[in-house]
Chain A
């Protein structure tokens, strides 16, 4: 045990998935309204030392997926189906108190908006020491220097002063770093990052991303990266899942996916973003319509009304997810 902890080497990165999500579905039910399926049969694996991306636009179900895995969805008004097995334990069936123990210790999560995930009336230092006390059984006295060390290592300048500061006294980038420090406090084996840099400026984003990359490379932590930014994905993720309307529509290693996008949605996303490295002046090719135009998946492809190359079968039959190795595609009429 001590061996693996002191020598965090790539050898630790096994082939066995650390987290294995199978057929995850989340349906929200409200009185007087049609049930809404936000996540619809999502499956993916994450191995130690691997970064897996979940990419998509607002409403594609990427955040609900992570909340369901973390057991953070409200207890009423929704149905979660499928399994999320973490080293053989199905997180979705775990009693609340056992899940609470795992959260923070084995699995940590960082959110998009650091201000709303920090307690505004507790100093940053205390929030970090609390994690150490709760999950590592440290005394407050023992935890304090460790908390200071953590803040220092995630690049917060003047950590002694910052320990006493309250969240509102920190800048957005520093708050996000404080959250990462809290997430790191227990050396989690799985880290779920939900749009961790979306609220930040690019230079700060670069700092945070390099911190995450370092974490994955040095400690073999498995990272699930949830983002809408294809640029972030291109630099960070080993494997990318593209979500649309609650389902995975395409999957591949980052090199494959970006070099050879087969789903019209993935292709459309790449064509619609202005790029720093491309020629300037060519008009962008947007994806027409918006997510409001989606068809239900039952008897069609949800993306068909916005698709650049729909065929008749697209509005008559649900396309299955065809998998071969890492690559997967859900489309009746793929690009090329």
Chain B
């Protein structure tokens, strides 16, 4: 296994005790079934296809990628909401992927999830108090009435809601406040790891910042480790210490947040970063975009070899089509040892030895409309 040796190179000083989350070779495949009488499996959706992911205690790991890349499924596999088809997920030394039933439920105290849409993840018929107490009770943290009340107060203060909120119902709150309730619910059972799946993408820009700041404050206060899953690269860069970029079920690049944005090495990461609009007209006018052709291929029929080769402007005749690249440390001056890339040609692309092919532009919209206007005038 090349991956294991790469791992060792990538993070040499890491003794196992430092890692809170250690996921290895995680695969989640969903069967595609067809048939009326007999369910025949006619294929699989390879949502997550072999991911190694390590998160150190106290850090924030950001997982970015576009829709359909498998980032949410990976998050669910990690906290045991979607049993992995293959691979191990160990949190704080326990293999969670193999746990079942009551044992898994008990362990869930250590890892909680914050969901994207606070409206659909909070039961509309439960008051805030009952939402928060439910989890505490399930984990035996609500035996003493007085202590529970004090704890609820503390939780609300921590997420910046008034104590009066306890008796209210989710619909009485704004989106940002609901997300605060979702965070308080996750915090209620004193978890070690919080997996936040798109925690701010349903919120207005001005409110997003409030929730991002809150997540950061709570991390310091409660010694939390975060796995933040998001599509917004600016948000992820802001809150993460390390970032992994996913494409079609696999990690294509992993690096410290600053390194990744300063020097993206994988062609997909380059394209992704170049596509993000920046709220600065001067920068926008200068921005050189790498426009990718076409769409994400279907995860039920992932391309052979490098999964990105169908859209990659740097694609080469050899290797790209038939050999799947593994995450590896690249030999480029000035690149940190934790910066790993799954690309056969990362060095050559960085040095400029391999130049991108320009994606053939289609005829302009102008030609089209001009040509057509003629047609209609005649008709």
CB contact between A8 and one of B209, B292, B363, B370 (< 8 Å): that residue: B370
Please give, as numbers and ranges, the residues of chain B lying within 8 Å of A259 by CB-CB distance.
281-282
Please give, as numbers and ranges, the residues of chain B lying within 8 Å of A288 by CB-CB distance.
210
A205 at interface by CB-CB < 8 Å = yes
Given contacts A258-B281, A280-B257, contact A6 B374 (CB under 8 A): yes
Give the shortest distance, in Å, between A64 (CB) and chain B (any CB). Answer: 16
**B174 adjacent to A292 (CB under 8 Å):** yes
Closest to A187 in B: B369
**A272 adjacent to B206 (CB under 8 Å):** yes
Within 8 A of A (CB), among B274-300: 274-285, 287, 289, 291-292, 294-296
**A210 adjacent to B291 (CB under 8 Å):** yes
Stretch at the interface among B97-105, B228-236, B336-344: B228-236
Closest to B277 in A: A231
Q: How many angstroms between the C-alpha atoms of A154 and B363 in the bound complex? A: 9
**A290 adjacent to B174 (CB under 8 Å):** yes
Please give, as numbers and ranges, the residues of chain A lying within 8 Å of B291 by CB-CB distance.
203, 206-207, 210
Please give, as numbers and ranges, the residues of chain B lying within 8 Å of A230 by CB-CB distance.
205, 279
**B283 adjacent to A277 (CB under 8 Å):** yes
Stretch at the interface among A77-85, A118-126, A169-177, A315-323: A169-177
Please give, as numbers and ranges, the residues of chain B lying within 8 Å of A211 by CB-CB distance.
365
Interface SS of chain B:
helix
**B279 adjacent to A273 (CB under 8 Å):** yes
**A276 adjacent to B261 (CB under 8 Å):** yes
**B234 adjacent to A275 (CB under 8 Å):** yes
A117 at interface by CB-CB < 8 Å = no
**B238 adjacent to A284 (CB under 8 Å):** yes
A2 at interface by CB-CB < 8 Å = yes
**B277 adjacent to A272 (CB under 8 Å):** no
Give the shortest distance, in Å, between B275 (CB) and chain A (any CB). Answer: 4
**B279 adjacent to A209 (CB under 8 Å):** no
Q: How many angstroms between the C-alpha atoms of A280 and B204 in the bound complex? A: 21
**A276 adjacent to B363 (CB under 8 Å):** no
Give the shortest distance, in Å, between B184 (CB) and chain A (any CB). Answer: 17
Closest to A137 in B: B379
Interface SS of chain A:
helix
B273 at interface by CB-CB < 8 Å = yes
Please give, as numbers and ranges, the residues of chain B lying within 8 Å of A7 by CB-CB distance.
370
Q: How many angstroms between the C-alpha atoms of A280 and B216 in the bound complex? A: 13
A138 at interface by CB-CB < 8 Å = yes
A153 at interface by CB-CB < 8 Å = yes
Q: How many angstroms between the C-alpha atoms of A265 and B234 in the bound complex? A: 21
CB contact between B231 and one of A138, A173, A202, A234 (< 8 Å): that residue: A202
A-B contact count (CB 8 A): 198
**A283 adjacent to B213 (CB under 8 Å):** yes
Given contacts A187-B372, A277-B280, contact A201 B213 (CB under 8 A): no
Q: How many angstroms between the C-alpha atoms of A283 and B280 in the bound complex? A: 19
**A204 adjacent to B284 (CB under 8 Å):** no
**B296 adjacent to A171 (CB under 8 Å):** yes
Give the shortest distance, in Å, between B53 (CB) and chain A (any CB). Answer: 22
Please give, as numbers and ranges, the residues of chain B lying within 8 Å of A137 by CB-CB distance.
376, 379
Report B347-378 CB contacts with A as 1/0, cut-off 8 Å.
00000000000000011111111101111110
CB contact between B275 and one of A57, A202, A229, A285 (< 8 Å): that residue: A202
Given contacts A234-B281, A283-B213, contact A153 B205 (CB under 8 A): no
Q: How many angstroms between the C-alpha atoms of A235 and B282 in the bound complex? A: 9
Stretch at the interface among A28-36, A68-76, A108-116, A213-221: A213-221
Given contacts A214-B366, A273-B209, contact A203 B258 (CB under 8 A): no
Within 8 A of B (CB), among A256-273: 258-259, 268-270, 272-273
B165 at interface by CB-CB < 8 Å = no
Given contacts A272-B208, A273-B208, A276-B233, contact A214 B279 (CB under 8 A): no
Q: How many angstroms between the C-alpha atoms of A142 and B378 in the bound complex? A: 12
Give the shortest distance, in Å, between A296 (CB) and chain B (any CB). Answer: 18
Report B12-30 CB contacts with A as 1/0, cut-off 8 Å.
0000000000000000000
A14 at interface by CB-CB < 8 Å = no
Closest to A213 in B: B365
Q: How many angstroms between the C-alpha atoms of A229 and B207 in the bound complex? A: 14
Give the shortest distance, in Å, between B232 (CB) and chain A (any CB). Answer: 8
Within 8 A of A (CB), among B174-209: 174-177, 204-209
**B277 adjacent to A229 (CB under 8 Å):** yes
**A184 adjacent to B369 (CB under 8 Å):** yes
Please give, as numbers and ranges, the residues of chain B lying within 8 Å of A209 by CB-CB distance.
277
Please give, as numbers and ranges, the residues of chain B lying within 8 Å of A173 by CB-CB distance.
295
Please give, as numbers and ranges, the residues of chain A lying within 8 Å of B278 by CB-CB distance.
231, 234-235, 275-277
Please give, as numbers and ranges, the residues of chain A lying within 8 Å of B261 by CB-CB distance.
276, 280
Q: How many angstroms between the C-alpha atoms of A2 and B370 in the bound complex? A: 9
Give the shortest distance, in Å, between B181 (CB) and chain A (any CB). Answer: 14
Closest to A205 in B: B275
Give the shortest distance, in Å, between B199 (CB) and chain A (any CB). Answer: 13
Give the shortest distance, in Å, between B115 (CB) and chain A (any CB). Answer: 19
A99 at interface by CB-CB < 8 Å = no
B45 at interface by CB-CB < 8 Å = no
**B365 adjacent to A234 (CB under 8 Å):** no
**A interface residues, Cβ below 8 angstroms from B:** 1-2, 5-8, 57-58, 136-138, 142, 146, 149-150, 152-155, 157, 171-174, 184, 187, 201-207, 209-211, 214-215, 217-219, 228-235, 254-255, 258-259, 268-270, 272-277, 280, 283-288, 290-292, 306
18 contacts between A and B (CB under 8 A): A5-B374, A57-B205, A137-B379, A153-B363, A157-B295, A201-B67, A202-B231, A202-B233, A206-B292, A229-B277, A231-B284, A234-B278, A254-B281, A255-B281, A259-B281, A276-B276, A287-B209, A290-B177
Q: Which 10 A-B pairs have the closest CB atoms?
A: A218-B366, A231-B277, A274-B238, A286-B209, A5-B373, A287-B206, A201-B66, A235-B284, A272-B209, A230-B279
Instruction: Supply 16 further A-B pairs (C-beta < 8 A) apart from A173-B295, A184-B369.
Output: A1-B377, A2-B373, A5-B377, A8-B366, A136-B376, A201-B67, A205-B277, A218-B364, A219-B365, A230-B279, A258-B281, A269-B206, A272-B206, A274-B209, A286-B213, A291-B204
**B interface residues, Cβ below 8 angstroms from A:** 66-67, 174-177, 204-210, 212-213, 216, 231, 233-235, 237-239, 257-258, 261, 271-285, 287, 289, 291-292, 294-296, 362-370, 372-377, 379
